[in-house]
Amino acid sequence: MIVVRGGRSLFGRVRAAGAKNAALPAIFASLLTSEPVELLHVPCLRDVETAVELVEALGKEVLWEGGRLVIREAGPLSPRAPEGLVRRMRASFLVLGPLVARLGEAQVPLPGGCAIGTRPVDLHLKGLSALGAELTVRGGWVHARAPRLQGRTVYLDYPSVGATEQLLLAGALADRETVVLNPAREPEVVDLSRLLSAMGAETHWEEDRVTVKGGRELSGASWEVIPDRIEAGTFLLAGAITGGKVRVEGVIPEHLGALLVKLGEAGVGVELGGDWVEVAAKGGLRGVNLETRPYPGFPTDLQPPMVSLLSLARGESLVTETVFEGRFGHVGELLRMGASIRRQGASLLIRGVEGLTGTRTLASDIRAGAALVLAGLVAQGTTYVEGTEHIHRGYENLTEKLRELGAWIWEEGRESSR
């Protein structure tokens, strides 16, 4: 349980960790080659631990020292993914494409993960089927067979991050070119394509498509994971909600474009450098309207902490969630803290209040947990956030980093208060 005592403005600098959502597909890309893959700037997170356990269970050996992973082949790869690991984390489903591309068969259970909506995998299966995989779904498992995948043109009805990554991974060992029309363009997807290029596949991005030209074999590679724009955005929101001044270093500012625009509209001062972003309070917060959208739109992963900030903004805000219909687990908890939020279908009508009050809360998913921690930073009294296992899946040393910025925060069972 995380314990937060509100009332302190945050000041200082914090360095962004590596992006979880880039590290996970990079780890699964190691299944495409028998040669070593070295990954740098890897965050120490529960989801990364799950990904490491999964590739080890499939036949890899992983050396993990600090932020460096070295993944080697330890023996013959298994085509069957352990059910417990895949159900623990949705991204684990990405092993399906690499396994069937390299081994000609794969057995992967349908995935689990955060309870933020239905998140079907139909686009994954449609894409792999188009590449020639024979797919059967029974008993909660996907069975895939393909003597050799064949590159094709695949149109995605929605620019799904997972489906785009699945097709890039599978296409990297397919005969001929695979063209994905209407792909996801999130920085983490582009980072995966660049890693695949470093391993010997040819990838090319155009305005409406990404192309991957595979080969019979891929080589190993050494690759540095991009900074985590969601973690960086969370710390910027923490500085803004507390009326402080926080600089996040080691970031790619353009990856944060939509958030920075909305922070500016809300009355927050924003400054940019080559690899840093700084926010500073300029006065009271103002309400804004926003919709979550695929990149470069406002990221769904920053909607919950943004809602915490807007709960204290002057006037009204309208927040519409278009990516995950279930991403409102934080709303009920914020209401218990005194926020004024009314749900209208896929939208939240937020009326700013003078202040929030600390209470016991429960994090239902990773980003809801971050939202409740941020609310606790400004709430009167003490806020207790349970469900910290979710937060540890997506944030590396969150409480320690916030404490270094001046927050009065600790986690029971892991550290003592200061």
Task: Report the catalytic residues.
Answer: 114
**In the chain, what are the helix, strand and coil shares in percent, each to the nearest 5?**
35, 30, 35
Residues 6+ apart with CB under 8 A from 317: 287, 288, 289, 290, 310, 348, 349, 350, 352
Q: Which of 314, 311, 368, 313 is nearest to 335 (CA)?
A: 311
Q: Is 299 exposed, middle or buried (0-12, 13-18, 19+ CB in 10 A)?
A: buried
Q: Which of 292, 386, 294, 285 is nearest to 348 (CA)?
A: 292
DSSP codes joined into one string, 168-237: HHHHTTSBSEEEEES----HHHHHHHHHHHHTT-EEEEETTEEEEE--S----EEEEPPB-HHHHHHHHH
Q: Which of 127, 56, 136 is nearest to 92 (CA)?
A: 56
